[in-house]
Amino acid sequence: MQNKVIEINNITKFYHVGTEVVKALQGVSITIKRGEYVAIMGPSGSGKSTLMNMIGALDTPTGGQYILNGTDVSHLTDDSLAEIRNKEIGFVFQTFNLLPRYTALENAMLPLIYAGVPKHDRIKRGEEVMEKVGLTNRMQHRPNEMSGGQRQRVAVARALVNRPSIILADEPTGNLDSKTSVDIMRLFDEIHQAGNTIILVTHEEDIAQHAHRIIRLRDGLVESDAINERVEQPV
């Protein structure tokens, strides 16, 4: 049986906007096992972005419990959350978030600098992930010398370089054309097949269909949580 990498128990998140209380999450409970490929979907205002921030340790809940890889991160300090993020989670964003003055390889290696990995090891691991995403011949290029698809591949390499427990992708094809989106999703499929846990946050049905399990949110609650019958499930 697979180990649980994420346990979310009755998570709530309330925001105060003036005199109004916005209930972004109203008691969400989710378990994700190591090696799963999960899509989180929902319309605007459903709470999916808030849930992504919780899963990514970018925010803490108002109530409930979040256990990541056996550690309760529900109420950690900002510094402790930053350490957890760098160690446990690889982020892929819609807007790539690459540093323009750095080469592709340097961008991919950034999490290793924050983790205090020696330079020789940083370069070795950076080159390994750049090869994994098919950019061996683009390592010394800067972001403005690369296509949108290539930049997103660099972002995926950066997410992989620290060997995290989870790859958390937020609308990873949102800024890409249809053909490039297909290429990037094929890359995610390959990464999952290699054993990574992937959580994909998207509003696009065709992108979500790559996942083996789809969680749908509405009004801060889990509306449905089901196996994706269209995808062949791992044995």
Distance of CA 27 to the CA centre of its chain: 22
Q: Are 104 and 140 in contact, with CB atoms under 8 Å apart?
A: yes
Confidence (pLDDT) at 234: 63
CA 227 vs CA 26, 115, 204: distances in Å:
23, 36, 17
Closest to 211 measured CA to CA, from 168, 179, 180: 168
- In the chain, the amino acid numbered 19 is T
Tens place of pLDDT for every residue, the chain, 235 residues?
458 999 999 999 999 988 999 999 999 999 999 999 999 999 888 999 999 999 999 988 999 999 999 999 998 888 889 888 888 999 998 888 999 999 999 999 999 988 889 999 999 999 999 999 999 999 999 999 999 999 999 999 999 999 998 999 999 998 888 999 999 999 999 999 999 999 999 988 999 999 999 999 999 999 999 999 877 766 5
Three-state SS for 148? helix
What CATH number belongs to 35-57+77-227?
3.40.50.300
Sorted by where each begins, the domain ranges of the chain are 35-57+77-227
Which residues have C-beta within 8 Å of that of residue 153, sequence separation ≥ 6? 133, 134, 135, 184, 187
Q: How far apart are CA 47 and CA 219, in angstroms?
A: 7
Q: pTM, whole model, 2 decimals?
A: 0.90
